[in-house]
Amino acid sequence: MIDFELSTPARAIQGMTRQFALGSIRPHARQADTDGEMPESVIKNLAAIGMGGGSMPAGSKGEKEAGADSKPRENNLVACIGAENMAFGDPAVVMNIPGPGLAAPAINAMGTEEQKERWLGIFDIKDGQLRYGAYAYTEAHFGSDTSQIATTAKRDGDEWILNGHKIFCTNGARADIVVVFATIDKSMGREGIKAFVVEKGTPGFTVGKIEEKLGIKASETAELVLDDVRVPMDHLLGGEDALKPAVKAGFVGAMKTFDSSRPMVAALGLGIGQAAFEYVTDWVAREMPSGYPFRKRTDVALTLADMERELKASRYMVWKSAWMADRGIPNTKEASMAKAYAPKAAYDVCAKAVEIMGPEGYSKEHLVEKWYRDIKIYDIFEGTGQIQRVVISRRIMGYLDKEDPAKIN
């Protein structure tokens, strides 16, 4: 049974991240949006307080903590709590946190023990260097139909040769390692999709354009080009086992990554919505004239009540999906429910905040216009709201596809 009472460590993370967000992140939000980058001092502070660099994935399999009274890990729940509060300060800052990023759940889902130690271990090195990981799946010719990958991987002796273009890669330009998805044989469909680790500086692996975006402007989003990129055999996640017939290692691994990342993305969207809600609530208490017509004051009060209700419902959905992941309980449906619900609710909250504040809400004198721009992407990346509803419906009707579980992802 899920317990809504946070553990002492989780409450500590909640308080610390909230304080850091208000004191060290929020003051830089407007300038970072204007400049298109987060100040390096903020990023170094994040690393200094332990907010980045660890190789423990969001989405580990619920192993027990040694000597901790057999309590399950709280990696996912704590990560979602921290993400919400950091986004409360500024959503782009979370994208700038040093560490393996989405490379971590992908490597943990598909990699061998040696591969996990090798590539995630570099993020635990205490040499003062800021290291990043990235995840390259999306391509220009397909959106949510992830089976349509055109990037190819051809075996040549003891190497793989990768060719293709990837787009919308968070931290792709700065990443030390990138998990790249490619097909070894298009005719194999999803069975042909495999994941490879490509290291920064590999010949033929270059950065294309850096995207200019509507929101989260201080987050780097890059195009990656692979032109006859050669990687050793052991850069294939899962090793030789991934090549066995009927093994959908790459595709299934990508879906497992989403099971971990979607609650996190939902939490980030929730943090933006919470920021807008608290800001407009304070504005109403401070700025609304005392003589304002009672009916209109009541309308505003009821709107605020609706906003808080939606945010709290979103939070419990996020926590439930994270709670399940921490215990190794399959959470595909719940992760998609959180991802479908929370960003949409947060978007509505941000829109209502702008409306309540009127012209002031549209002005750059206030951050609500920025949050309104920032929130939209959270309903798009990691699978659009429409795709989440498809995933949910297929899980509900999953008995129709029992002969092939991969069909319902």
Could you list the active site residues?
Answer: 382
Structure tokens at 44: 């170094």
CA end-to-end span of the chain: 26
In the DSSP assignment, the letter for residue 243 is G
CA separation for the pair 102, 71 (Å, rounded) = 26
The radius of gyration computed from the CA coordinates of the chain, to the nearest angstrom, equals 22
Strand bridging mode 177-183 / 133-136: parallel
In the DSSP assignment, the letter for residue 350 is H
- Biggest alpha carbon–alpha carbon distance for the chain: 80
CA angle (324 as vertex; 58, 123 as ends), nearest 5:
10
Distance, C-alpha 90 to centroid of its chain:
14
CA separation for the pair 355, 288 (Å, rounded) = 14
Q: Where are the beta strands (DSSP E) in 98-149?
A: 133-136
State phi, psi for 18 to the nearest 5 degrees: -65, -45
Secondary element (H or E) of residue 222: strand 221-232
Structure tokens at 39: 């100040």
All residues at 6 or more sequence positions from 71 whose CB lies less than 8 Å from its CB, including other chains: 7, 64, 65
What is 302-339 written as a DSSP string?
Answer: HHHHHHHHHHHHHHHHHHHHHHHHHTT---HHHHHHHH
CA angle (43 as vertex; 362, 73 as ends), nearest 5:
100
CA separation for the pair 97, 45 (Å, rounded) = 10
SS3 category, 364: coil
Burial of 365 (0-12, 13-18, 19+ CB in 10 A): exposed
Structure tokens at 286: 């401070």
CA angle (396 as vertex; 390, 400 as ends), nearest 5:
95
SS3 category, 185: coil
